Amino acid sequence: MALKSDSRQWGLGAQLLHWVMALLIIGAGIVGWYMTDLPNSPQKMKIYAMHKSVGLTVLALVLLRLVWRWRDNRPADVPMPAWQARAAHAVHVLLYGLMLVMPLSGWLYNSASGYPLRWFGMVNLPSLTGGQDAALKSLAHEVHEWGFYLLAALLLAHAGAALKHHFIDRDETLARMLPFLRRRTAPAVESAPAATPIPSAASPDQSPESRP
C-alpha cells in the first residue's frame, strides 16, 4: 500500500492515523469514564496520568493528521444519497472538532485545577491558566464531560455507518480504510493518467493495487 492515498483507497499514512487514533480515543474514553469514581490512591493518580498522556498524544496526532490530510490525496466519494453525504461530512467535521476539543478541555481542566501535567512521566507541559481558576475549571469540566457524550454518540454513528456501507450497501467505504480487505468491485478500466495527485479526484486509478 502506498503511503499516500489514491483515488480508490486511503494510503498507509491516513490508515495508520485513523486506526491508531481510534484505539487511543476509545481507550482514553473507557479509562476516563471508569477512573472518576475511583477512591484517591496512587493507583488512581497513575491511571489519570495515563489518560492525560494518551489525550495529549491524540492532540499531537490530530494536528499531524490535519496537516497530512491537507497534503494527502482523497479517494473519490462513494456514491450515496445527498443527505447521507451531508450527514457523513457533518459527522467527520464534528469528530475532528472533538479530537481537538477533548484534549484541550482536559488540559484546561487540569491547569485550572492546579495540577501538573506530565506526558508519560517524561516531559512536563505548561499550565494553560498559570494557576488555579475555579470558573475555568468548572467550564472545562462541563465541556470535557459533554464532549465525551457527544463523541461517544458520534463514534457510534460513524462506526455504524461504516458497517452499514459494508454489509448493507456493500460498497467500498470501509474496505478502502482497511489494509487487508479485498476490493469488492473490479476496478473500472479506464485510461487515466496514473498518479495525478488531484485532491478528491473522481477518476479511478489505473492499477488495482498501486504500490509505492
In angstroms, the CA 24 to CA 2 distance is 24
Q: Is 38 in the site for other proteins (CB under 8 A)?
A: no
Q: Which residue's CB is nearer to other proteins, number 140 or number 161?
A: 140
* Position 116 contacts other proteins (CB under 8 A): yes
211: cell is 504500490
Q: How far apart are CB 48 and other proteins at their closest, in Å?
A: 10
- Closest of 60, 61, 27, 53 to residue 117, by C-alpha: 53
- Nearest approach in angstroms of CB 42 to other proteins is 4
Q: How many CA atoms lie within 13 A of 19 on its CB side?
A: 11
Query: CA–CA separation, 57 vs 60, rounded Å?
Result: 5
- The least distance separating other proteins from the CB of residue 110, rounded to whole angstroms, comes to 11
- Which residues 128-157 are close enough to bind other proteins by CB under 8 A? 132
Which SS3 state, helix, strand or coil, does residue 74 take?
Answer: coil
List the one residue from 30, 36, 38, 43 that touches other proteins (CB under 8 A): 43
36 near other proteins, rule: CB under 8 A = no
Query: In whole angstroms, what separates CA 70 from the centre of its chain?
Result: 15
Residues 181-201: b if buried by 16+ CB within 10 A, e if exposed:
eeeeeeeeeeeeeeeeeeeeb
Q: Which of 113, 136, 158, 206 binds other proteins (CB under 8 A)?
A: 113
Q: State which residue, 82 or 134, has the beta carbon closest to other proteins.
A: 134
Instruction: Enumerate residues 49-88 that contact other proteins by CB under 8 A.
Output: 49
In angstroms, give the least distance from the CB of 138 to other proteins. 13
| Nearer to other proteins among residue 134 and residue 189 (C-beta) | 134
Cα(130)–Cα(114) distance, integer angstroms: 8
Residue number, 42 or 193, with CB nearest to other proteins: 42
